[in-house]
Amino acid sequence: MLDFTDSLPNEDITLEVGDCMRLQFGQLMMEIERQHFEWTISHFYWQQPVGKDYRVYGEVTHLRYVLNDTDNHINISPRLADRPVVSRPHSPINLMHRGHIRVYVSTPLSLQVSIAGQQLLELPSVRLSDTWFGERTGPGELCYADSTRARLNAHDLKAGSYKVSTPIDIRNMSGKALRVDRINVPLPLLSLYRSTANPDAYSSAALTVTLGDGPADTEIEIEDFETGKVAGKESFTLITAARKPHRKQLLHRALNLFLG
């Protein structure tokens, strides 16, 4: 029995017929077993009620995948969430006129399980609730909701290895102070990287948001890291490219939704 806790294998795992592996990643517990021409994946989520020292376990889901290929390699890789995450700082940030900050927002990763090049399933490491992000209940976007400390220093992040941090530069070039009480992180537009120094540390591409007085002065940029190149003080390796390409329309939409 192979066992992984809050750490993912860097390479494919080899499982012989009858072998089993167990993985705990965030709140996700997963067990994978290989049979003849069949893989069985069981998973469930646990929760710790606020102020309690015990865990509540959710219902177990059993899934069976039948394959003609008897490949004994299974690949488990991290991915960014499939929808944007609306993160609320524990206390709102007021960014003064011509102010500039870099905040680090951490969000839970998802896990993608593939066998013989075929994706079997993708599961989030933490089950986040849904939220609607938009000015009104008509136009807007369905996102995941999360809370963040929106730390100003990357070293202060206490993110577990099931979390990824997104560096966000916010420049307030408008004539008034900006109140940031929620941040929409457009994860489907971002690539995922792993730190070369610490394989359990993940980062997404960086975002730079410049907010001016009008739409013409306001823009959002996505800064991808080059593999091996030092970004800040760390060097990163690309794991997965963005789910959606950085098209201008999508960037514009992300900007409209960035701060609500």
Partner 1 sequence: MDYLYLLASEEHILGNVVRALLLALTGWLAARLSARLANRMSDSLISTHHRALLCKAVFWSILLLFMASALYQLGFKLGLLLGTAGIVSVALGFAAQTSASNLISGLFVLSEENFQIGDIITVAGTTGEVLSIDLLSVKLRTFDNLFVRIPNETMIKSEVRTLTKFPIRRFDLNVGIAYRSDINLARQVLMDVARRNPLCLDEPEPMVVLQGFNNSSIDILFAVWSTKESFLALRNSMQENVKKAFDEAGIEIPFPHVTFYTGADCSPLPIRLMDKD
| Residue 258 CB partners (closer than 8 Å, separation 6+) | 183, 184, 186, 209, 220
CB of residue 17 vs partner 1: minimum separation in angstroms?
36
State how far the Cα of 39 lies from the Cα of 33, in Å rounded to an integer: 6
Q: Is 142 in the site for partner 1 (CB under 8 A)?
A: yes
Sign of CA dihedral 186, 187, 191, 194: positive
What six digits make up the tokens of 88?
């609320």
CB of residue 139 vs partner 1: minimum separation in angstroms?
9
Helices (H), 68-221: none
Q: Is 127 in the site for partner 1 (CB under 8 A)?
A: yes
Q: Is 145 in the site for partner 1 (CB under 8 A)?
A: yes
State how far the Cα of 77 lies from the Cα of 210, in Å rounded to an integer: 33
Whether 242 and 189 have beta carbons less than 8 Å apart is answered as: yes
Q: Is 183 in the site for partner 1 (CB under 8 A)?
A: no
CB of residue 18 vs partner 1: minimum separation in angstroms?
35
Q: Is 249 in the site for partner 1 (CB under 8 A)?
A: no
Q: Is 246 in the site for partner 1 (CB under 8 A)?
A: no
State how far the Cα of 30 lies from the Cα of 21, in Å rounded to an integer: 8
Helices (H), the chain: 248-258
Among 133, 202, 236, 258, binds partner 1 (CB under 8 A): 133
Task: Report the residue number, 136 or 158, with the smaller CB distance to partner 1.
Answer: 136
Show the binding pattern over residues 77-116: x = contacts partner 1 (CB under 8 A), - = does not: ---------x------------------------------
State how far the Cα of 239 lies from the Cα of 10, in Å rounded to an integer: 10
Q: How many CA atoms within 13 Å lie on the side-chain side of 22? A: 5
Q: Is 245 in the site for partner 1 (CB under 8 A)?
A: no
CB of residue 130 vs partner 1: minimum separation in angstroms?
5
Show the binding pattern over residues 41-80: x = contacts partner 1 (CB under 8 A), - = does not: ----------------------------------------
Q: Look at residue 188 and give its three-state secondary structure.
A: helix
Select from 5-13, 60-68, 103-111, 133-141 the region that touches partner 1 (CB under 8 A).
133-141
Residues near partner 1 (CB under 8 A): 86, 127, 129-133, 137-138, 140, 142, 145
